[in-house]
Amino acid sequence: MGKVGLNITSKEFKQLRKWSENIYNTAVVIDYFVANQPEIEECYNLAPVVKHLRNNADVLNAFFIDHEKDVEI
């Protein structure tokens, strides 16, 4: 797979990183809630979906953390 270059400014990168961090933090809170409320059927049914969302948000957040050093500040 080839390398893909993104034409975004440092400011845009920081904003995207902030948004991805917010999404991850929200997913963690929701995951914790649904995992600790299995007696509520809706939470029990949503738990796998939320877990998947949290994992994807974690990967996205990790991408921004890993590439922060590559962005000119």
User: What residues does each domain of the chain span?
Assistant: 10-70
pLDDT-flagged residues of the chain (< 70):
1-6, 72-73
Q: What is the pLDDT of residue 4?
A: 59
Supply the pTM of this predicted model.
0.79
Q: What is the pLDDT of residue 2?
A: 56
Distances (CA, A) of 54 to 7, 18, 39, 47, 73: 27, 16, 21, 10, 29
Q: Smallest Cα–Cα separation from 17: which of 70, 69, 65, 72?
A: 65
Q: What is the pLDDT of residue 10?
A: 87
Q: What is the pLDDT of residue 46?
A: 94
